[in-house]
Chains A and B, each alone.
Chain A
Amino acid sequence: MLKQIEGSKAVAEAVALCRPEVICAYPISPQTHIVEGLGKMVKGGELKPCEFINVESEFAAMSVAIGSSAAGARSYTATASQGLLFMAEAVYNASGLGLPIVMTVANRAIGAPINIWNDHSDSLSQRDCGWLQLFAENNQEAVDLHIQAFRLGEELSMPVMVCMDGFILTHAFERVDIPTQGQVDAYLPPFDPRQALDPAEPISIGAMVGPEAFMEVRYLAHAKQLQALEMIPELAMEFKGVFGRDSCGLVRTYCADDAETMVVAMGSVLGTIKDVVDEMRADGHKVGVLGITSYRPFPLEQVREALSNCKRYLVLEKSLAVGLGGILATDVRMAVSGVGLNGYTTVAGLGGRAIPKASLHKLFREVEKETLDKVGFLDLDWEAVNKQLERERRIRHSGPIAENILHDKGIASAAKFG
């Protein structure tokens, strides 16, 4: 049914339609509305049988999800930012144990400086944890990805993160087609775990594994991700059959066929990029878009194919590999290694910095002319940056950077050092 609905509420409804049996979560912005919505549904009896477990931290949230999933219950949680970092040890355990937990990450920056706004630093920090990571472009896709995530995770017996841009999607009211229970039931069978703790037939899960077998267990985690590369497109096809929508898949292209310049990105910024591309196309610019839905597994082959006909590409990413440049860009570069393409990286939107169309118009034209730096930062205030660098050169006791920058930009009354 078509609804004008907040992204978080839509995701809560989608998760409820997936019939989770255990939901455990600790509140953190911008994820909170999702589990609040689910909490209400459990309390009101709309979602049953399901136990909503209030926990004392994110570490506990993932630990409870591990326990309930190991007991054979379909388990769900959600988090963001510092919450994801706080549960990191358990996040690795969930995938190491092969437990198909689904977790929403309402993408948010990581401090310090503390910042509640959107970027992709949080889930990308867990890049190598063994979970699958799927990125939603809009709230319809966020809904659809959750339904596919339970199916995908349970078929592989691996956990899945559904990543959606915090605030930009979680707090946006837009049109979403919420499926019926019948549709979701037809697509997602009851959880049939590969392994389950049962007091009647005791087994152990979580053995210590020494050097003689650790490599093999780890390789099998990699093998599951390779299987997912095959399975994700199949499940997207099947999804289309039941729900009538193209959603998920590994990658999606837009205006790519004759594009000389390709822009690669993940998440909600793809919408803004597509609008800019439409406007530039109207002026004769051959620009196209590659949206990456599946960040883990990373679809090397599909990315390579999508970029094989262009002359140059730009990775626009809401993340920063400090000391290197781009995180996504590094993976894209691996996909096109040997192709002989000029690749550029622009870091944008960190900590919720708006990514306006006007800035993208300017940026994409620079990419066409190849007049930009290999690694750049969209709308960076160089004056503020240089002022601080100069301050540090001049004064030994130059003080805290964040406070200095806030002061220099006239944003807050902060202590000024020099």
Chain B
Amino acid sequence: MFQVRIHGRGGQGVVTAAEMLSVAAFGEGRHAQAFPSFGSERMGAPVVSFCRISDREIRLREPIMEPDALIIQDPTLLHQADVFAGFKQDGYLLINTTKTLSELGVDGLLESFIHDRICTVPATEIGIKHIGRPIPNVPLLGGFAAIAGVIRLASVIKAINGKFSGKIAEGNIAAATEAYQVVLAEKQAAGLKTETTREA
């Protein structure tokens, strides 16, 4: 079972992201369970959502306490909420930001994790560019497809087409695809760097 936890703020589509991720996994014939953190949702308040993906029926109903992947939709949460709680050493991390990990002040914290599994993507900017709104959730799903290889970009696109239509669907697909490419390039670069370091 692969477990994803998404941190963001009310209005950023945090809950929708988990739902769409589950739909993408379902489209690949897998079992998936998405659920929100069940708060009183308010614009701007910290929100958490969860998605489990498995090849078997998912019966577990506890919140995801040891995520295999974290998606951070709002980097201001990095120092405000315990977003890394239970994050696995070999986990995947995707942060929506234009900054570097050291500019975000989390490079030291993430030192012991696997570097090519930690990526940043300017998802808000990609959202504005393609959708016209600062909604980072769908681009981050595209990025997630690149970082972890748990779901395919094609499945994310299929989920987008199930949720939206017309121009909004087109914009979201373009945003997800661009974020996918950004993360893929970043991951490959980090992978090469890691290998070089190992060789040295």
Point out residues on A near B: beta carbons under 8 Å.
4, 6, 30, 116-118, 138, 165, 167-168, 171-175, 268-272, 274-275, 352, 354-357
Residues of A within 8 A of B58 (CB): 174, 271
For window 19-53 of B, CB contacts with A under 8 Å fall at: 19, 22-23, 25-27, 31-36, 38, 40
B32 and A175 form a contact (CB under 8 A): yes
Contact A269 B61 (CB under 8 A): yes
- In angstroms, how far is the closest chain A Cβ from the Cβ of B66? 10
Does B62 sit within 8 A of A, measured CB to CB? yes
A173-B34 in contact (CB<8A): yes
Q: Is the CB of B26 within 8 A of A4?
A: yes
Closest to A169 in B: B61
Chain A contacts for B33, CB-based, 8 A: 172-174
What sequence of 0s and 1s flags, for each residue 55-95 of chain B, a beta carbon within 8 Å of any chain A beta carbon? 00011111101000000000000000000000000000000
Name which of B23, B38, B61 has the most chain A CB atoms within 10 A of its CB: B61
Given A4-B22, A173-B18, A175-B31, also A356-B38 (CB < 8 A): no
In the complex, which of the residues A117, A167, A269 contacts B35, with contact meaning CB atoms closer than 8 Å?
A167
Residue tally, chain B, CB below 8 Å to A: 22
Q: How far is the CB of B145 from chain A (nearest CB, A)?
A: 17
In the complex, what residue of chain B is closest to A118 when comparing beta carbons? B38
* CB neighbours of B25 from chain A (8 A): 4
Identify which of B34, B38, B40, B61 contacts A271 (C-beta below 8 A).
Answer: B61
Closest A-B pairs by Cβ, 5 of them: A271-B59, A4-B26, A173-B34, A167-B38, A172-B35
Which chain B residues lie closer than 8 Å to A167 at the CB level? 35-36, 38
Closest chain A residue, CB of each to CB of B38: A167
Interface SS majority for chain B: mixed
Whether the Cβ atoms of B32 and A357 lie closer than 8 Å is: no
Q: Name the contact of A268 in the complex, choosing from B18, B61, B63 (C-beta under 8 A).
A: B61
In the complex, are the beta carbons of A357 and B60 less than 8 A apart? Answer: yes
- Per the bound structure, the CA–CA distance linking A356 and B86 in Å amounts to 13
30 A-B residue pairs with CB within 8 Å: A4-B23, A4-B25, A4-B32, A6-B19, A116-B40, A118-B38, A165-B61, A167-B36, A167-B38, A172-B33, A172-B35, A173-B19, A173-B33, A174-B31, A174-B32, A174-B58, A175-B26, A175-B31, A175-B32, A270-B59, A271-B59, A271-B61, A272-B60, A272-B61, A274-B59, A275-B60, A354-B62, A354-B63, A356-B65, A357-B60
CB distance B22 to A174 under 8 Å? yes
Say how far B181's CB is from chain A's closest CB, in angstroms. Answer: 26
Contact assessment for B62 and A355 in the assembled complex, using a CB-CB cutoff below 8 Å: yes
Interface centre among A172, A270, A274, A355 (most CB of B within 10 A): A172
The answer to whether A352 and B63 have CB atoms under 8 Å apart is: no
**With a CB–CB cut-off of 8 A, which chain A residues contact B38?**
30, 116-118, 167-168, 171, 352
Whether the Cβ atoms of B23 and A355 lie closer than 8 Å is no
In the complex, what residues of A have CB within 8 A of residue B32's CB?
Answer: 4, 173-175
Question: Contact between A272 and B62 (Cβ–Cβ < 8 Å)?
Answer: yes
Q: Which A residues are in CB contact (< 8 Å) with B19?
A: 6, 173
- Contact (Cβ within 8 A) A171 B36: yes
Nearest-neighbour CB distance to chain A for B87, whole angstroms, equals 17
The A-contacting residues of B in range 100-145, CB under 8 angstroms, are none
Least Cβ distance of B31 to chain A in Å? 6
> Which B residue sits closest to A276, measured CB to CB?
B60
**Closest beta carbon of chain B to A83's beta carbon, Å:** 17
In the complex, what residues of B have CB within 8 A of residue A352's CB? 38
List the B residue with the shortest CB-CB distance to A357.
B62
Q: Tell me the minimal C-beta distance from B81 to chain A in angstroms.
A: 14
Contacts beyond the supplied A118-B38, A173-B22: 15 A-B pairs with Cβ under 8 Å: A4-B26, A167-B35, A167-B36, A168-B61, A172-B35, A173-B19, A173-B33, A174-B31, A174-B34, A175-B31, A268-B61, A271-B58, A272-B59, A272-B62, A357-B60
Q: How far is the CB of B51 from chain A (nearest CB, A)?
A: 8
CB distance B18 to A355 under 8 Å? no
Within the complex, what minimum Cβ distance (angstroms) separates B2 from chain A?
A: 15
